[in-house]
Amino acid sequence: MTTTPPADPWIEAVAARLKEAAQKRAEAYATPTEWQPIWKQPRKPKSIKAKKAEPAKQRKRLRAAGVRRFYGAQSPRPRPRPRPRPQPRQNRIGSAAARRDTRALSRMRHSNAWLW
């Protein structure tokens, strides 16, 4: 003989709320039919006020950079001289003989031997 507990109205109400919440979540996560990625959506035109504010912001930014540069140059501590950028290394695909010649010439240049 199996006995089932009597139906508890509180538990039934909680179960109904859970089911309803699960259904709402499923609806929220469903992909909308008219969805587009943000970069495909048409751009919202800028207002005239926003358009006019852009160059003013840029001028302000550039002026601030100029002031920083000026006061940086006035600074008493010495600054290192800007070094020239290193040239990109040549790729390794090439004539091995040419590399050997170059190496030999380089050794000669750095040695104290006289070329007669």
Question: How confident is the model over 38-70, as pLDDT tens digits?
Answer: 777 778 899 999 999 999 999 999 999 999 999
Distances (CA, A) of 9 to 2, 4, 18, 71, 103: 21, 15, 14, 77, 92
Is the model's pLDDT at 100 over the cut of 70? yes
Check if the beta carbon of residue 77 is closer than 8 Å to that of residue 84: no
Residue 113 pLDDT level (bands cut at 50, 70, 90): low
Mean pLDDT of the chain: 81
Q: Tokens 């008493």 map to which residue?
A: 76
Q: What is the pLDDT of residue 103?
A: 78
